[in-house]
Amino acid sequence: MPDFKRLFQEVLRQRPDVNETSLSELIQEKKRRVGAGYLTDQGALFLVAADLGVSLEAVAAATITLKDLYIGANEITVVGRVFALYSIQRYQRRDGTKGEYRRIILFDSDTFVKVTLWDDKARALDELGIRPNSVISVVKGYVKSGLDGSPALNVGARGGIEIVQDEQVMNRLPTIERVSKDVSSVSSPETYMAVFGFVKSSARLSEFTRRDGTPGKVINLHLVGLQDGHETRVAIWGSESKEILDLPVESFIRVINVKARILPHGEIELHGDESTVIEKLPEQPEVTRGEQRKFKLFRVVSLGISLPEKDGTQSIAGILVDENKELYTVIARDEAHQDLAQSINDALVEFVIGGPTRSVIVCRSGADLRVATETGQRYPGFGDLVTKINAIKDGSTPLFLEVIALSRSNIQEVVTGDGSTVKRAEVIVGDETGEIRIVAWRNLTKLLHDISPGQRLRLRGLVVQQDRNGVSLQVRSFSSVERFS
């Protein structure tokens, strides 16, 4: 049974007109009327909830949350949303008979858990029509240690799975769309991820031989995020999906169930398997007929360099800040590219809002942006966003710093995981609180060209990355590096 506090908060959530004090008084009044010897506070809460028209059955059904799973737990019920499904596998029991199992990944607000369904339960997923984003209840499951030592949920002969259709429960769980990340924002190792980005080049199927002599297959493709012109390699092992191989270049897609790895030289790669799913997405919501175009005013606090697209056109990215100090990423392509490229840092610009996420603006038409003039209202600028090196924390939020170069920029060529050779630049910088490395890749290395010790730099829009050499700041397509005296 869930704890009293969780049930108490659920009543308050469903009845915002009731406050904590009045609910506590109703519980004590219920106990007095029924008899204190017959009811606990929690039992009285169920009766009070019924009087208020609140159902606690769905909450009570989830005897434990995913993050509370522990090895050895038995006959438990949990509710979660399906993140990924694997195919049915076969195994041999100790008595020589054959059996089946199937794995799925469940997630809730902050936890991902591997679930194994055994024998006849393995085919229940298809029978119930369960897919990624379905909300299900695992009934009478048991928990054992997984191969990595973490709790793994199992469903055997006594257990089962059910589809949850209670909207209150469904709305409480995040969707895959909500936990998805721009591929540009991935900066550290993670196990269960959904990312979105543009297909930079055609997917390629490769065959290889494993160390044990068995054949293997892998599909390689490269994604570019909305926030960055940097390419991220995605390797989907054991797949020869025609759907993936036929993805057109420049398709905007979501890749579900991949994990991030950091290569020895510091770059991020994403790896998937046969459970990895590709979804095609609209790049930008269409404005319906008759709908008024809405402009919003921003200050440009970082403006990257123009980068070539595969079709020979140019794109440029930048970072904007609004009156509330909220940061936005803007990507300008086609005819909008030149208009944004002519702008400067700290200028005021208006944009038509629209993009695949709230904080991303994708702009293709020159009619979607216009230069603005100073207003009576003060808009935040670079000085309002500056942080110190000792205050840097993990995260994907772009950072702004004033530093001094402590080394010459070192530019060299490195070999990536797919065998290609690319440029990598690095320089060490510091302020009065500490020191940190700045790293740039490919075309962005020109931003660190010819930096020498003692030069003062304004770093706009760099992103934290944790690699084998520690924490560094990565230059992205929306970043800029200014020399000043």
Mean of pLDDT values over 54-72: 68
Name which residue leads in pLDDT, 36 or 271. Answer: 271
387 in Cβ contact with 401 (< 8 Å): yes
Distance between CA atoms of 449 and 451, rounded to whole angstroms?
A: 6
- The tokens describing 262, both together, are 């950091």
CATH topology assigned to domain 180-280 = OB fold (Dihydrolipoamide Acetyltransferase, E2P) (2.40.50)
In the chain, CATH 2.40.50.140 covers 62-172, 180-280, 295-371, 386-484
Name which residue leads in pLDDT, 354 or 28. Answer: 28
Distance between CA atoms of 303 and 315, rounded to whole angstroms?
A: 12
Name which residue leads in pLDDT, 445 or 189. Answer: 445
Whether the pLDDT of residue 287 is over 70: the answer is no
- The tokens describing 87, both together, are 């195919």
Distance between CA atoms of 144 and 147, rounded to whole angstroms?
A: 10
Whether the pLDDT of residue 465 is over 90: the answer is no
82 in Cβ contact with 119 (< 8 Å): no
Query: Which residues, other chains included, contact 162 with Cβ-Cβ below 8 Å and sequence gap of 6+?
Result: 136, 137, 139
Name which residue leads in pLDDT, 61 or 107. Answer: 107
**pLDDT of amino acid 176:** 93
**pLDDT of amino acid 40:** 74
What is the tens place of the pLDDT at every residue in 361-406?
878 777 788 888 766 567 899 999 999 999 998 777 899 999 999 9
Query: How many CB atoms sit inside 10 A of residue 189's CB?
Result: 12
Nearest to 187 by CA among 446, 457, 439: 439
**pLDDT of amino acid 226:** 72
**pLDDT of amino acid 84:** 96
What is the tens place of the pLDDT at every residue in 137-159?
998 899 888 887 788 999 998 89
Beta bridge partners of 162: 137
431 in Cβ contact with 405 (< 8 Å): no
Whether the pLDDT of residue 436 is over 90: the answer is yes
Mean of pLDDT values over 183-192: 85
Question: Does domain 295-371 sit in CATH 2.40.50.140?
Answer: yes
**Range with top average pLDDT, 32-46, 213-227, 398-412, 469-483:** 398-412
Residue 288: pLDDT band (50, 70, 90) is very low
Distance between CA atoms of 107 and 173, rounded to whole angstroms?
A: 8
Residue 15: pLDDT band (50, 70, 90) is very high
What is the tens place of the pLDDT at every residue in 243-286?
999 998 888 899 999 999 887 667 789 999 999 999 998 765 44
* Start-to-end C-alpha separation, the chain: 65
Determine the length of the chain. 485
**pLDDT of amino acid 32:** 84
Whether the pLDDT of residue 338 is over 80: the answer is yes
Lowest mean pLDDT among 65-79, 132-146, 426-440: 65-79
386-484 is classed in which CATH architecture?
Answer: Beta Barrel (2.40)
SS (H, E, C) the chain: CCCHHHHHHHHHHHCCCCCHHHHHHHHHHHHHHHCCCCCCHHHHHHHHHHHCCCCCHHHHHCCCCHHHCCCCCCCEEEEEEEEEECCCEEEECCCCCEEEEEEEEEECCCCEEEEEEEHHHHHHHHHHCCCCCCEEEEEEEEEEECCCCCEEEEECCCCEEEECCCHHHHHHCCCHHHHCEEHHHCCCCEEEEEEEEEEEEEEEEEEEECCCCCEEEEEEEEEECCCCCCEEEEEEECCCCHHHHCCCCCCEEEEEEEEEEECCCCCEEEEECCCCEEEECCCCCCCCCCCCCCEEEEEEEEECCCEECCCCCEEEEEEEECCCCCEEEEEECCHHHHHHHCCCCCCEEEEECCCCCCCEEEECCHHHEEECCCCCCCCCCHHHHECCHHHCCCCCCCEEEEEEECCCCEEEEEECCCCCEEEEEEEEEEECCEEEEEEEEHHHHHHHCCCCCCCEEEEEEEEEEEECCEEEEECCCCCEEEEEC
* pTM for the full predicted model: 0.62
58 in Cβ contact with 169 (< 8 Å): yes
Whether the pLDDT of residue 441 is over 50: the answer is yes
Pairing of strands 421-431, 434-441: antiparallel
**pLDDT of amino acid 355:** 54
Query: Which residues, other chains included, contact 338 with Cβ-Cβ below 8 Å and sequence gap of 6+?
Result: 366
Per the prediction, the chain carries an average pLDDT of: 85
**pLDDT of amino acid 291:** 43
What is the tens place of the pLDDT at every residue in 317-330?
899 999 889 898 88
CATH topology assigned to domain 62-172 = OB fold (Dihydrolipoamide Acetyltransferase, E2P) (2.40.50)
- The tokens describing 414, both together, are 């490195």
Lowest mean pLDDT among 58-67, 324-333, 405-414: 58-67
Torsion of CA 462, 463, 466, 470, to 10 degrees: 20
**pLDDT of amino acid 289:** 38
**pLDDT of amino acid 110:** 77
What contacts 24+ positions apart, CB below 8 Å, involve 325-328?
325/380, 325/384, 325/385, 326/359, 327/301, 327/359, 327/397, 327/398, 328/298, 328/359, 328/360, 328/361
Query: Which residues, other chains included, contact 166 with Cβ-Cβ below 8 Å and sequence gap of 6+?
Result: 58
The percent of residues in the chain predicted with pLDDT above 70, rounded, is: 89
**pLDDT of amino acid 303:** 92
- The tokens describing 231, both together, are 């390419």
Please report where in the chains the tokens 């030592």 appear, as a residue. 149
Residue 311: pLDDT band (50, 70, 90) is low
**pLDDT of amino acid 36:** 53
Lowest mean pLDDT among 21-30, 166-175, 255-264: 166-175
Nearest to 431 by CA among 473, 403, 407, 457: 403
- The tokens describing 82, both together, are 């399906």
**pLDDT of amino acid 35:** 62
Whether the pLDDT of residue 1 is over 50: the answer is no
**pLDDT of amino acid 228:** 59
Whether the pLDDT of residue 198 is over 60: the answer is yes
401 in Cβ contact with 195 (< 8 Å): no
